[in-house]
Amino acid sequence: MSPTTLEVTARALVAPGKGILAADESHATIARRFEAHGIANSEENRRRYRQMLFTTKGIGEFISGVILFDETIRQAADDGRPFVEVLTRAGILPGIKVDRGAKALAGAPGEQVTEGLDGLRERLAEYGKLGARFAKWRAVIAIGEDGRTPTPRGIEANAEALARYAALCQEAAIVPIVEPEVLLDGGHSIERCLEVTEATLHAVFHALSAQHVTLEGLLLKPSMVLPGATAQHRAPVAEVAEATVRCLRRTVPAAVPGIVFLSGGQSDELATAHLDAMNRLPGPQPWPLSFSYARALQAAPLKAWGGDPARVADAQRAFLHRARCNSAARAGAYTPELERSAA
């Protein structure tokens, strides 16, 4: 049986040495990122910022795909070329965020469900015409301090939406990235994160099966198994790597062509170190372990850029460096020397 278009695209996104740049921040999210550096959140600044990222020379060696926001997939570079063309020329697949954000789940205090299914078939058809080859939908699962949340109902509502989104994507020949993010917020232990992530992934793969989604034609974008941001006990890198891979081996079928982690508020270097440590574990694992980072790839270039056209080259150097380090982490070959080589 020859591979389908979906399988070919999914595998290309996790080709050796490559991972995904998530650059699909909503207006509200990019506003927060820009504000931290005193950058005005105008359409033109958003375009100039994304242009800086997408036109970085050599980035196609490390980045297989870029997730765009609705505004960005319609924008063009200074020379008039649409961003989709700029990326495609660099050997990078354009993707699109299609969810409409997490909203309060009715009657479930502290829990959210992601919206955006209404009209999704029509939106996917348009994004396909604009050049999108893959898509993203993010579900958020918060771990409550009292041990009561997430509830099975909260987990199931999110899993169901993810699966219905994935089925619509595959119908449109667009690879769905299925992103159930267990949030870092809170003081929970790494053991509690493992328990919640395991329950979430079980529910997600059950729902994908119920919706007849083809596992070979999707990618999973999970959070890593970590103690909460304010937890007393910090876990060493090796423990995070071991717990994360243990959780995935228990829950993710081998038919899935790849796993691309989100960074979720970890520092740049820690997100790289965790990925590297996972890829150093005795293997092989059933699937490639790669990245689909937003903050852990963008924090350094955003800071270096600061909205100043004169600092584009510095920002691009910072971006290329983080992409190179994460590419090395895919092979368990990230070292302190490589990290320092940017200086």
- Which one is catalytic: 7, 179, 181, 339? 179
Among 9, 112, 263, 316, binds ligand 13P (CB under 6 A): 263
DSSP state of 309: G
Among 262, 273, 275, 289, binds ligand 13P (CB under 6 A): 262
Does the annotation count 115 as an active-site position? no
Give the residue ranges of DSSP H helices in the chain.
5-13, 27-35, 43-54, 70-73, 83-89, 120-130, 152-171, 190-210, 237-251, 268-280, 295-305, 312-330, 336-340
Residues contacting ligand 13P: total by CB under 6 A = 10
The answer to whether 264 contacts ligand 13P (rule: CB under 6 A) is yes
The answer to whether 274 contacts ligand 13P (rule: CB under 6 A) is no
Binding characters for ligand 13P, 82-121, by CB under 6 A (x = yes): ----------------------------------------
Nearer to ligand 13P, 76 or 229 (CB): 229
CB within 8 Å of 84: residues ≥ 6 apart: 73, 94, 130, 131, 132
**Span interacting with ligand 13P, options 40-48, 58-66, 147-155, 256-264, rule CB under 6 A:** 256-264
The answer to whether 293 contacts ligand 13P (rule: CB under 6 A) is yes
Q: What is the SS3 assignment for 30? A: helix
Smallest distance from the beta carbon of 282 to ligand 13P, in angstroms? Answer: 27
Q: Which of 328, 310, 234 is CA-nearest to residue 48?
A: 310
Among 295, 321, 322, 330, binds ligand 13P (CB under 6 A): 295
DSSP state of 3: P
Measured in degrees and rounded to the nearest 5, phi and psi for residue 162 equal -60, -40
Q: What is the SS3 assignment for 238? A: helix
CA distance 322 to 341: 11
**Span interacting with ligand 13P, options 49-57, 203-211, 229-237, 290-298, rule CB under 6 A:** 290-298
CA distance 194 to 199: 9
Pairing of strands 93-97, 259-261: unpaired
Among 11, 123, 133, 138, binds ligand 13P (CB under 6 A): 138
Smallest distance from the beta carbon of 134 to ligand 13P, in angstroms? Answer: 12
Smallest distance from the beta carbon of 284 to ligand 13P, in angstroms? Answer: 25
> What are the catalytic residues?
179, 221
